[in-house]
Amino acid sequence: MRAVVLLALCAAPAAGQEAPAFDPAPVVTCLTAEGGRDCAGRAARACMEGQGGQTTLGMNQCLAAERDLWDARLNDAYRSGMDRITPVRAKALREMQRRWIRFRDAACDYEAVRYEGGSLASTVRLQCQMELTADQTLRLEASLAEGG
């Protein structure tokens, strides 16, 4: 029960602190103009530069928002790909994604462990998740654009 209360307190902005405003436009604009790995992190950085984005909580909210942006895009690519590829390839894609999720979670937990539960651990974990999810999204989109 204490964990639930603690999570609820961590998820809500501190009294008087507004949640930072997240705008996906920097990522979307970059992907439209240039594409590529350099687009990852742009919206989170812009969010962190805004009101409330400099606190640990604000940074975490910004990073989580961009991670979720990439995750939604990854899920869209995955669903689209599953609809267009052969059953054998669909099975391989499903297994690859399941293993990739385990890899991402383990890799980001490893990065966070360096901070031994300190306040930066969650920020480092979210940064890692955002970056790896962006990488996987771009990799999957490129693979499916080339025919799977």
User: Which residue has 């606190």 as its token pair?
Assistant: 55
Tokens of 34: 């240039």
Is 20-145 in CATH node 1.20.1270?
yes
Residue 78 and residue 56: Cα distance in Å, rounded? 32
In this structure, are residues 105 and 125 in contact, taking their beta carbons and an 8 Å threshold? no
* pLDDT of 145: 85
Mean pLDDT by 10 residues, the chain (148 residues): 35 59 95 90 95 93 97 96 93 97 97 90 97 97 82
* pLDDT of 17: 61
Single pTM value for the model: 0.84
Give me the residue spans of the domains in the chain: 20-145
